[in-house]
Amino acid sequence: MVQPSFSHPRSDPSSSSVSNSPTAALDAFLDNQHQSYFEELYKSEAVCLCILRSLPPVCRHLILHHLWSHMPLRTTEVKSFLQLDVHTQLEVVDEIVRPALNRKIIHPMIHKKNKFYWPWNDAFKKGLRNALTGLGASNSFGVPFDTPDDVELPSQEDLVAYGEEAFEGILKYMVSSGLGIGFSVARPQAEVLELLHISGLMIDPTDATGENPNLNKMTITSKGFQFLLEDRQTQLWEILMYYLTAKEANSERSAEVLSMFFSLGCMQLGQDYSASKSFPHALSALNDLAQYGFIYRPSPDSDQFFPTHLATALCSGDAAATKSQEADEKRFLILETNYKIYAYTSNELEIAILNLFVDIRIRYPNLVVGKLDRKNVKSAMEKGISANQIISYLSSHAHPQMYNSPPPLLHPTIVDQLHLWDRERNRLKMEDTVMLEFFSKELFEDTENEAKANAALQLSVSTQKFLFIEPQTKAAITDFVKERQNQLRSGF
């Protein structure tokens, strides 16, 4: 139950990403796509580069190791490079390259002339080779805008400030809707609100069906609270994926939009790009992204746009996030073993988020003092925030001063107490189930055995002949029951 120790401020984004990668939303989305979708994506070199980087290191280096060979990737070669025994089962090797198979970088294994190999996806191979040599022709890294020399460009700081303001505006709106505290928040545009509704981060409590929400009267959901506690990169990818699935629901092609996300992620902060030349097929999506602060446009209808740090950090992993100065500004929390919290911040959003689970006692211009107590933490948990989320929020915002004490970063007492409060609430575990009721004892027992064999059984009550099974196995089990029933009947 004790959290793993965080040894250094710089190290914790990556150590927390072991359990929960910031691109989890993206991965889940890509896992459900088909071959043709990837063929479409891999036309862009930027996508190939970013997909390569998202693979686990061993798989990534296998791909790079073999990139310039004209042969297909043979299993014997993989085995020897990985120092595996020649007789290692093919399934084991297949499992190692599984991430690449999932991204359709290589095709499933083929057996020919006594040789087992994975053929390359030529689109990816070509794309990655072009990305490394710079010989591509898809303009996927962004066509720079022809700026006249006398025009003054916004500085990098301006862009960061702009992006920060736009995105935090949305987050603030979400928090304020839940707490009823009013800081003067501009309401985001209707498209943004609509997306927040579709994604389930906010709902209109007066609208029971969920079909005709009053966008101006929405409040935050428990999912929304969880979203607030995520780190920035996770939030960005989640929003983008909600946007993408919303597009798909409208049966629009999303591959071009997704490839635009990757292109934006490979762009340079402070450089201006031409929208019509860079993304001729995704202009409307680019306009939508402006509302979230991903890009900055000097005037709404100009062709020129600047990616902000939100966009350029999309594909930069943890590196850019930890390097940038705002990462240090995010480390403002000191937590003492007596549950007292000192937060050196004047950011309204952060204070509002803290207010979710901390009893705030004192406020100074740059310091907030509060206490973690049972009442507030449990009210936060009522809203759907879990103990783990609070812990990861606390540790990712811990002040550099806290790293000076020996690890673990958060004192075990507090971590344990948070888990205990969580347990108090979670005495019951909810699971979906399907209940079957039987009249024949024989049929009941047969079905019970069958369900046990397939790990579908949740609970059986033999006195009343009730059987509770996993919902996804319902079809299979009912088929079995019908078949068995027929057999039993014909037996008589």
Partner 1 sequence: MAPPTPDHKSYPKTTPPSILLVILDIHPLSWSLLASPPPLPSVPDQPIIDKAQATPISLPDFVLLLMVFLNAHLASRWGNEVVVYGASAGRAKLLYPPPSNAIAGPSKPRPNTYHPFQLLDTRIEEGLKEMAEEEQRRIENGHIKSLNQPPAMVSALTKALCFVNRIIPHTSASAALVDPTATQDPSAATTTGPDKPETRILVINATPGENVSNSSSSDLDQTNGNGNADGQVDGTAPNGKSGNGGQMRGGYVGLMNCVFAAQKAKVPIDVLSLPPPSIDASPPIFLQQAAHLTEGIYWQWNGRGGLLQYLHALYLPPLSLRHHPFAVPPQDAVGFRAVCFCHHKTLDVGFVCSVCLSIFCEPRPVCLMCKTRFPIKSIPTLKSLATYIEPIPVPDTVPPPPIPKGSKAHNNNNENNKKDKNRSMINGGSGRGEPIEID
Q: Using CB under 8 A, list all residues that contact partner 1.
A: 7-8, 10-11, 14-15, 17-18, 45-46, 49, 52-53, 56-58, 60-61, 64-65, 67-69, 74, 76-77, 79-86, 88, 92, 95-96, 130-144, 266-268, 271, 277-278, 315-320, 322, 403, 406-407
User: To 10 degrees, what angle do helices 156-179 and 348-357 make?
Assistant: 30
CB of residue 324 to partner 1, shortest distance in Å = 13
**48 vs 255, beta carbon nearer partner 1:** 48
**130 vs 176, beta carbon nearer partner 1:** 130
**136 vs 370, beta carbon nearer partner 1:** 136
Residue 378 and residue 349 in contact, taking contact as beta carbons nearer than 8 Å: no
Rounded distance, CA 241 to CA 116, Å? 37
**152 vs 211, beta carbon nearer partner 1:** 152
CB of residue 111 to partner 1, shortest distance in Å = 15
Q: Which amino acid belongs to residue 336?
A: E
Rounded distance, CA 261 to CA 47, Å? 9
CB of residue 189 to partner 1, shortest distance in Å = 30
CB of residue 4 to partner 1, shortest distance in Å = 12
**75 vs 177, beta carbon nearer partner 1:** 75
**54 vs 199, beta carbon nearer partner 1:** 54
CB of residue 258 to partner 1, shortest distance in Å = 18
Residue 329 and residue 20 in contact, taking contact as beta carbons nearer than 8 Å: no
End-to-end CA distance of the chain: 57
**Token duo for residue 440:** 């024949």
Listing DSSP states for 69-136 in one string gives -SS-EEHHHHHHHTT--TT--HHHHHHHTHHHHHTTSBPPPEEETTEEEE-B-HHHHHHHHHHHHT--
Strands (E), 350-402: 359-363, 368-371
* Cα 51–Cα 56–Cα 58 angle in degrees, nearest 5: 120
**318 vs 350, beta carbon nearer partner 1:** 318
Radius of gyration, alpha carbons of the chain: 27
**Token duo for residue 479:** 């088929």
CB of residue 304 to partner 1, shortest distance in Å = 14
**8 vs 363, beta carbon nearer partner 1:** 8
Residue 123 and residue 42 in contact, taking contact as beta carbons nearer than 8 Å: yes
In angstroms, what CA-CA distances link 91 with 78, 339, 492?
13, 50, 47
CB of residue 483 to partner 1, shortest distance in Å = 39
**Token duo for residue 95:** 């499992």
DSSP state of 144: B
CB of residue 199 to partner 1, shortest distance in Å = 27
CB of residue 318 to partner 1, shortest distance in Å = 7
Conformational region of residue 433, where left means phi above 0, alpha means psi within -120 to 50, and beta covers everything else: beta
Residue 31 and residue 242 in contact, taking contact as beta carbons nearer than 8 Å: no
Residues 444, 448, 449, 451: what is their CA dihedral angle, to the nearest 10 degrees? 140
Rounded distance, CA 110 to CA 116, Å? 6
**2 vs 488, beta carbon nearer partner 1:** 2
CB of residue 73 to partner 1, shortest distance in Å = 12
**Token duo for residue 55:** 């693979």
CB-CB neighbours of 212 under 10 Å: 8
**47 vs 377, beta carbon nearer partner 1:** 47
**70 vs 489, beta carbon nearer partner 1:** 70
**131 vs 394, beta carbon nearer partner 1:** 131
> For residue 403, which of 79, 101, 89, 9 has the smallest C-alpha distance?
9
Rounded distance, CA 49 to CA 128, Å? 6
CB of residue 18 to partner 1, shortest distance in Å = 6
CB of residue 486 to partner 1, shortest distance in Å = 45
**Token duo for residue 345:** 């911040």
